[in-house]
Amino acid sequence: MLGSIGMPELIIIFVIALIIFGPRKLPELGRSLGKSLAEFKRASNELRNTLEEEIRLEEQKPPEPKPKVEPSRTAEADPAPTEPHFEEPVGAATSGKVDKSA
């Protein structure tokens, strides 16, 4: 975006700033703008250096061994032994008597 600003555009911006702020205030604004830009550049360089250092340390670290995970036991993988199930005939009494009418 700033690459498209040429010398005529900068002169127009300077003249408008001169009219708005006046000749006494403009140098002070320029200094404070320069200090702000320098501080921003310093902070962004510090952040970039910190990130690069963290990445470098992470790359040097040996890989952590993965914990062994036992597979979960399911009914399909390990069926439990079942006892045979026998149903009593319908109408049979618990006393041992069998209904002969059926």
With respect to residue 37, please indicate whether it lies within any of the assigned structural domains.
Answer: yes
Q: Quick check: is 24 in a domain?
A: no
pLDDT band (50, 70, 90) for residue 63: confident
Backbone φ/ψ region at 77: left (φ over 0), alpha (ψ -120 to 50), beta: alpha
Residue 42 lies in a domain: yes
Whole-model pTM above 0.75? no
* pLDDT (tens digit per residue) in 3-54: 688 889 989 988 998 899 888 898 898 899 999 999 999 999 999 999 999 9
* pLDDT value, residue 51: 95
Confidence band, pLDDT 50/70/90 cuts, at residue 65: confident
Mean pLDDT of 84-93: 61
In a domain, 85, yes or no: no
On whether residue 23 sits in a domain, the answer given is no
